[in-house]
Amino acid sequence: MSAPQPQGGPVARVLGLLGRSRELTLVALMLVMGALVTLGAPQFISVSNLNQVTAMAAIIAIAAVGEALTVMTKNIDLSVESTIGLVAFLVGVILREHDLPVPAAWLVGVGVGLLLGIANGAVITIFRIPSIVVTLGTLSIFRGVVFILAGGKEVNLVDLPPGYADLATDSVLGVPVFVIVAVVIVAAVGLLLWKTKFGRQIYAVGSNEEAAAIMGIRSRTVTFTVFAMCGALGGVAGVMWGIYFGTIYATSASGLVLQIVAAVVVGGVTISGGAGTVVGAALGALFLALINNALLVLQLPQELLQAIYGAVILVAVSADALLSQRQRRLAAREARR
Amino acid sequence: MTTARLQLTGISKRFAATAALADVSLELLAGEIHALVGENGAGKSTLVKVIAGVHQPDAGEIRLDGELITVPNPAAARERGIAVVHQEPRLFPDLSVAENIFLIAPPTDRFHTISWGEMRRRAAELFEQLDVRIDVAAPVRGLSMADQQLIEIAKALAIEARVLILDEPTASLSSHEVERLFTIVRRTSERGVAVLFVSHRLDEVFELCDRATVFRDGRYVTTAPTSELTTASLVRFMVGREVSLFPKEATTVGAPILEVRNLSDASGFRDVSFTVRAGEILGLAGLVGAGRTEIARVLFGIEPRTAGEVLLDGRPVEFRSPSEALRAGVAYVPEDRHQDGLVLDFSITNNITLPILGRLFPRLFLRARTEVEVATQFSERLRVRMTGVDQAVKALSGGNQQKVVIAKWLAARPRVLILDEPTRGVDIGAKVEVHRIVSELAASGLAIIMISSDLPEVLAMSDRILVLHEGRISEEIPRADATEERVMFAATGQRVQAPAGTGASSVH
Amino acid sequence: MTASSQSPARPAVRLGALARWETLLVILLVGLIAAGARMSPFFISGGNFANLTSSVMEIAIMALPMTLVIIMADIDLSVESMVGLAGAVLGTLVVAGVPLPLAIPVVLAVGALGGLLNGLLVTRAGLPSLVVTLGTLALFRGLANVLLGPTVISVWPDWFTSFGFGTIDGSPIPFTLVVFLVLVVVFWAVAHATWIGRQVFAIGKNAAASRYSGVRVNSMRNWMFVITGMIASLAGIILVARFSSARNDNGTGMTLTVVTVVLLGGVDINGGKGSIPGVVLAVFVLALLQNILRLAGVSSEFQGIAVGLLLVFSVIVPQLARQTRGAVDRARRSRRPPAGPIASGEVTA
């Protein structure tokens, strides 16, 4: 029960706490799952396996943070997977064909991601077109640009500077670099949401746009900024994707948006806007990566993965709906007391 | 004499062809509670919106503490210390109570970022001043309407408002909650805030307010201390003339059609029983939130009931959807015409035939001529003023829109017709016409339930009046004994000992 | 939509605008045909016609139910995965020795069931169709993956594959076009000539008022998802027949094209507006455009850009028109001198 008054035994109270905090629920689920998987396949808990899991989880988590921002404002960005693919490919091409230092190439990649996000945000806010339509369009437009860029060729690991792909598994004081990057980004965006006026305006716009307008909040500016941020974070994820895989195809990261949106939804960011945290979205990404890895180490068929993702999305949103329905009913009862 | 806290002079505002406000003035003093009263359409809400920066006046000036100001938008109003509490609180359900209060100007710490501890401390302080206990860290979603209104008042205190406007704040509160609200409003005005209290509940005006200003048809009528007014004189100022409402024709009341026995729903009303007969109009009076609309929604199959039974022509029925209710012959004219009553983009024809498409065209295929014939027949019978039945209903006036809603239900040939605030937002001329139509419908043998907050209307139209108070029937008053006073008393949970004829009824 | 209730209605003008949108599509069609004819002498030939139409028929038939879904202010993103799942089920059944004429109805039933899952989650659980169908987009594709794995099933009876890409003897009319045209007639009739269609539009414009008028809103929405799922599985069968192969990635990316065609056809993404003839015109615009791009040597991968641009523009253009018309209206209203009777209640209502 998520009733305001604590009732029932200790078990009920723990469940109530979990029901209210999606972050805690996910951590608990992951611990249980980790324990079970380790029983079946002890190599799950090995350092090299965990590094593998966290590197991919970090990429998805960063993209999910951006996606979460758009969902919090009651929007959605379906094009982020094409942004990731485009930036990954572009950075590869730059490193292959130009004599640019690596960090500069990365900067260009993130900048291009930002530009793509700005393009989305501009069309959505200037023409007041639903974000789902715009980003469904740019999903294939951005991907088309990758095809033009690729011209039928892929970027291979040998084209890149020596040792480039090692960055994905490098670590500082035992912590993988990718994880550090993800944690820094989650912390920074989390602080922005929690501690600044602009961050709170993101929630306000998603929670009640009419009230936000009356309060003098410029919801279009907020929406625009959020899409720009989502693009830039997609750019960061794209750069990391390129480092992680080394070999990049024109179709790289196709279909990834499902996993990103799933991470956001599973992480407790409600699709109706106004609620959720980026920590939740990042934990959602880790949760999905763990499922993926668990299938691998338990030698279960990988084909199950997509079906599981779909089921996880449906279960998560249904749970949200049930919880909020119960909340509404409680509220109605409260109002009549 | 001191300068007024807020002084409005010669304010006019037009919407297209309609003058909502014509040269009105209003003066609010610091520390007073000032009532703004008037009938529906008197211009109260428009004036509130002008002060709040939602509308810009076409003419006139606004002075705050003697200084000439403009209020280009709601944010500017807030910056100048003008706080508005709307009938429906406009809060962010996902954010906490404290954050809703301090969203625009949150307290910051030394890093110039939001200090949550400080915010919660200050919010708690505000509620302490109001003597209200509320968890400031909890999200607003799930709080009662009354609590949400208190948050709006706390918002006003937080910006140290000089002017506090309460727009029909008691509409959805229980009497206990109203008492608490009044205490808080008094406490606020004692701090020197000028309070404007917009209401159509005269008992509240006399209980709470020092002075009252009356508007009628968008014009200023008078301002007077409430101590010098009586209910009767106030009503006369509001109505301004002897209104000739269309009284119900005497009809022979037939057999019982709808019987309701011990009906309850989840939250709105409990243990309600009544009978409506053919040719009879049963008035449902009571304050907003007393459970009147909830009863209608259960009878029409929108909400489920939790106890009791409903008999139609002596047979028990239970509708799980409006379509089932309609098929059985129960029709409902909802309170919110735009939201629930009409498809605004549709033509008059398409709106009128929407509930009866299956009956008109059992073979699925539409026939334009049949539809136009039906629509013409019923819209002419109700004298809808239109360019033609193919006109979109959103182009019609409120009164004509309401006639289309009723036409729609007539075409469905119901046995029971439930009308929820049938003349709200309708001008006087159209109102009389709607009354004539409803009266004719009763004469033709329909059983009619009329929910209305408009007391003269209830008194003029009803054969019997059922008064609800906090979800229960507090009194059933036959037409002969009905006075405004008696209905009002019953609606607030009291009873008049001897039926007095001293009510301020302007009905004849 | 509170905005729409504020602007005064002029139905004549609105009808005109709708007619103009379809006229625009016709002009676009004629222009594309002219351009194609100049590019290649083979453009105006029976063979090319058969080629260009049959290449979009899966999209075309899915656009019909999708039109009604979007008019009801819902959306179904899962159709492309249902195409894949239908192929996977068909392939699995045939490999298991089930004769095709028996397998096909089973596949259609699977499509209807998938649609029912969407519909129930939307209407019973009250979830937004966008998220539900995003979930089933993954779920259905996942089930296809589970059923087929990396296997490609490419052995099919001749009659089946010739249905996929063959034409009616002695004419350039593909069999699949006949299927499409039959469906067009059915959907056109339902949408514009029966009261079911009237209720569909009413739900899209104002679901609450429709419910209060006795329209069984949730049941209608539910049925529409079921029909969409079933038609998507039919498209899946046609796709298998046309390429004579069932793979787990059949249909990937199709949802975008289907939605694009519907919006290009003049259907409002917010619901309540649109027409089947407009969508049929849009289908042929898309077919011609793809054909011309192919003739111009643009590879199919780039055509994604064209479809994406088409989608964005088909939404921007009417929106721009609406915004300028709104601005013109406002300007006109502010110039008109105030007049008329004093005070009616509606202003404050």
Residue B143 contacts A where some CB pair is shorter than 8 Å: yes
What pLDDT is attached to residue C181? 96
Banded model confidence at residue B171, pLDDT cuts 50, 70, 90: low
What pLDDT is attached to residue A7? 46
Please answer whether residues B470 and B437 qualify as being in contact, where contact means their C-beta atoms are separated by less than 8 angstroms.
no
Unique residue bearing structure tokens 């169709």 = C129
Tens digits of residue pLDDT in C25-76: 899 899 999 988 888 888 888 888 888 899 899 999 999 999 999 999 999 9
Residues 142-181 of C with CB under 8 A from A: 142-143, 145-146, 149
Query: Quick one: average pLDDT of C109-115?
Result: 97
pLDDT at B283 over 70: yes
What pLDDT is attached to residue A1? 33
Nearest Cα residue in chain B from C191: B365
pLDDT at B474 over 60: yes
Q: By C-alpha distance, which of B411, B376, B374 is closest to B391?
A: B376
Residues 6 or more apart whose CB falls under 8 angstroms from that of C89 comprise C103, C106, C107, C110, C147
pLDDT at C336 over 50: no
Please answer whether residues B357 and C216 qualify as being in contact, where contact means their C-beta atoms are separated by less than 8 angstroms.
no
Q: What is the spatial distance between Cα A64 and Cα A71, in angstroms, rounded to a whole number? A: 10
Please answer whether residues A97 and A260 qualify as being in contact, where contact means their C-beta atoms are separated by less than 8 angstroms.
no
Give the Å distances, CA to CA, from C96 to A318, C93, C104.
36, 5, 14
Residues 6 or more apart whose CB falls under 8 angstroms from that of C219 comprise C123
pLDDT at C201 over 80: yes
How many inter-chain contacts (B to C, CB under 8 Å) are there? 158
The DSSP code sequence of A169-228 is T-EETTEEHHHHHHHHHHHHHHHHHHHSHHHHHHHHHHH-HHHHHHTT--HHHHHHHHHH
Tens digits of residue pLDDT in A130-144: 898 899 899 989 999
pLDDT at C348 over 70: no
What pLDDT is attached to residue B427? 65
pLDDT at B242 over 60: no
Unique residue bearing structure tokens 């069932």 = C246
Residues 6 or more apart whose CB falls under 8 angstroms from that of A45 comprise A34, A38
Question: Which structure tokens are listed for B126?
Answer: 């505000």
What pLDDT is attached to residue C80? 94
Name all chains with 3 or more CB-CB pairs below 8 Å to chain C: A, B
How many inter-chain contacts (A to B, CB under 8 Å) are there? 79
Tens digits of residue pLDDT in B10-66: 999 887 666 788 899 999 999 999 999 887 667 888 899 899 888 899 999 999 998
Q: What is the spatial distance between Cα A103 and Cα A106, in angstroms, rounded to a whole number? A: 5
Determine how many CB atoms are found less than 10 A away from the CB of residue C42. 12
Per DSSP bridges, beta strands A175-176 and A171-172 are: antiparallel
What pLDDT is attached to residue C324? 80
Please answer whether residues B348 and B404 qualify as being in contact, where contact means their C-beta atoms are separated by less than 8 angstroms.
yes
Q: By C-alpha distance, which of C149, C311, C14 is closest to A79?
A: C311
Average pLDDT score over chain C: 86
What pLDDT is attached to residue C10? 38
Q: Please state the φ and ψ torsions of residue B317, each to the nearest 5 degrees.
A: -130, 150
What pLDDT is attached to residue A3? 37
What pLDDT is attached to residue C57? 94
The minimal CB distance from B267 to the residues A208, A211, A332 is found for A332
Tens digits of residue pLDDT in B421-465: 888 767 666 778 888 889 888 988 999 999 987 777 888 889 999
Nearest Cα residue in chain B from A204: B92
Chain center to CA of B153: 21
Query: Quick one: average pLDDT of C283-310?
Result: 85
ipTM for the predicted complex comes to 0.82
- The widest CA-to-CA distance across chain C, in whole angstroms, is 80
Angle made by CA atoms B164, B168, B172, in degrees to the nearest 5: 125
pLDDT at B311 over 70: yes
Q: What is the spatial distance between Cα B432 and Cα C158, in angstroms, rounded to a whole number? A: 76
Unique residue bearing structure tokens 């004629």 = C30
The alpha-carbon gap from B141 to the nearest alpha carbon of chain C, in Å, equals 18
Q: By C-alpha distance, which of B140, B97, B108, B94 is closest to A202?
A: B94
pLDDT at C268 over 60: yes
Residue C253 contacts A where some CB pair is shorter than 8 Å: yes
Q: What is the spatial distance between Cα A264 and Cα A165, in angstroms, rounded to a whole number? A: 28
Q: What is the spatial distance between Cα A40 and Cα A297, in angstroms, rounded to a whole number? A: 9
What pLDDT is attached to residue A329? 62
The alpha-carbon gap from C319 to the nearest alpha carbon of chain A, in Å, equals 7
Residue B291 contacts A where some CB pair is shorter than 8 Å: no
Residues 6 or more apart whose CB falls under 8 angstroms from that of A136 comprise A78, A79, C256, C259, C308, C311
Tens digits of residue pLDDT in A41-77: 888 888 888 888 899 999 999 999 999 999 999 999 9
The alpha-carbon gap from B89 to the nearest alpha carbon of chain A, in Å, equals 9
Q: What is the spatial distance between Cα C273 and Cα C73, in angstroms, rounded to a whole number? A: 9
Residue B367 contacts C where some CB pair is shorter than 8 Å: no
Residue B425 contacts C where some CB pair is shorter than 8 Å: yes
* In chain C, domain spans: 57-251
Please answer whether residues B172 and B289 qualify as being in contact, where contact means their C-beta atoms are separated by less than 8 angstroms.
yes
Task: Please report, as a single letter, which amino acid is at residue A73.
Answer: T
Question: Which structure tokens are listed for C163?
Answer: 């249905």
Determine how many CB atoms are found less than 10 A away from the CB of residue B85. 23
The alpha-carbon gap from B412 to the nearest alpha carbon of chain C, in Å, equals 10
* In chain B, domain spans: 6-239, 242-329+414-508, 341-413
Banded model confidence at residue C4, pLDDT cuts 50, 70, 90: very low
Residue B108, helix vs strand vs coil: strand
Asked if the domains B6-239 and B242-329+414-508 are classified in one and the same CATH topology, the answer is: yes
**Residues in chain A within 8 Å Cβ distance of C73:** none
Report the 3 state secondary structure along chain C: CHHHHHCCCCHHHHHHHHHHHHHHHHHHHHHHHHHHHHHCCCCCCHHHHHHHHHCCHHHHHHHHHHHHHHHCCCCCCCHHHHHHHHHHHHHHHHHCCCCHHHHHHHHHHHHHHHHHHHHHHHHCCCCCHHHHHHHHHHHHHHHHHHHHCCCCECCCCHHHHHHHHCECCCCCCEHHHHHHHHHHHHHHHHHHHEHHHHHHHHHHHCHHHHHHCCCCHHHHHHHHHHHHHHHHHHHHHHHHHHHCCECCCCCCCHHHHHHHHHHHCCCCCCCCCCCHHHHHHHHHHHHHHHHHHHHCCCCCCCHHHHHHHHHHHHHHHHHHHHHHHHHHHHHHHHHCCCCCCECCHHHCC
Strand partners, B447: B416
pLDDT at B338 over 90: no
Q: What is the spatial distance between Cα A63 and Cα A185, in angstroms, rounded to a whole number? A: 10
Please answer whether residues A95 and A105 qualify as being in contact, where contact means their C-beta atoms are separated by less than 8 angstroms.
yes
Unique residue bearing structure tokens 């990834």 = A256
Give the Å distances, CA to CA, from A127 to A59, A119, A316, C16.
32, 12, 32, 22
- In angstroms and rounded to an integer, the radius of gyration of the C-alpha atoms of chain A is 21
Nearest Cα residue in chain A from B269: A336
Tens digits of residue pLDDT in C232-247: 999 999 999 999 999 9
Q: What is the spatial distance between Cα A299 and Cα B68, in angstroms, rounded to a whole number? A: 78
The topology (CATH level 3) of B6-239 is Rossmann fold (3.40.50)
Q: Do C349 and B343 touch (CB under 8 A)?
A: no
Tens digits of residue pLDDT in A183-218: 999 999 999 999 999 999 999 999 998 889 888 889
Query: Quick one: average pLDDT of B249-254?
Result: 78
pLDDT at B300 over 90: yes
Q: Which H/E stretch holds residue B274? A: strand B272-277
Average pLDDT score over chain B: 85
Chain center to CA of A57: 9
The alpha-carbon gap from B163 to the nearest alpha carbon of chain A, in Å, equals 17
Tens digits of residue pLDDT in C78-106: 999 999 999 999 999 999 999 999 999 99
What pLDDT is attached to residue B263? 92
Q: What is the spatial distance between Cα C211 and Cα B503, in angstroms, rounded to a whole number? A: 41
Tens digits of residue pLDDT in B401-413: 888 998 998 888 8
Residue A11 contacts B where some CB pair is shorter than 8 Å: no
Q: What percentage of chain C reaches a pLDDT higher than 90?
A: 56
Banded model confidence at residue B134, pLDDT cuts 50, 70, 90: confident
Residue B103 contacts A where some CB pair is shorter than 8 Å: yes
Chain center to CA of B260: 25
Average pLDDT score over chain A: 87
Highest mean pLDDT among A29-38, A178-187, C46-55: A178-187
Q: What is the spatial distance between Cα B332 and Cα B300, in angstroms, rounded to a whole number? A: 7
Banded model confidence at residue A17, pLDDT cuts 50, 70, 90: low
Going by CATH, does the domain composed of B242-329+414-508 fall within 3.40.50.300?
Answer: yes
pLDDT at A124 over 60: yes
Tens digits of residue pLDDT in B355-369: 999 989 999 999 999
Q: What is the spatial distance between Cα A1 and Cα A13, in angstroms, rounded to a whole number? A: 8
What pLDDT is attached to residue C293? 87
Unique residue bearing structure tokens 């169908």 = C133
How many inter-chain contacts (A to C, CB under 8 Å) are there? 140
Determine how many CB atoms are found less than 10 A away from the CB of residue B44. 25
Question: Which structure tokens are listed for B414?
Answer: 């119901």
Q: By C-alpha distance, which of C218, C227, C220 is closest to C124?
A: C218
pLDDT at C2 over 50: no
Residue B332, helix vs strand vs coil: strand
Q: What is the spatial distance between Cα A223 and Cα C83, in angstroms, rounded to a whole number? A: 35
pLDDT at A278 over 60: yes
pLDDT at B470 over 60: yes
Residues 6 or more apart whose CB falls under 8 angstroms from that of B215 comprise B24, B36, B37, B38, B42, B43, B44, B47, B221
* Alpha helices (H) in B191-282, listed in sequence order: 202-208, 231-239
DSSP-assigned letter for residue B275: E
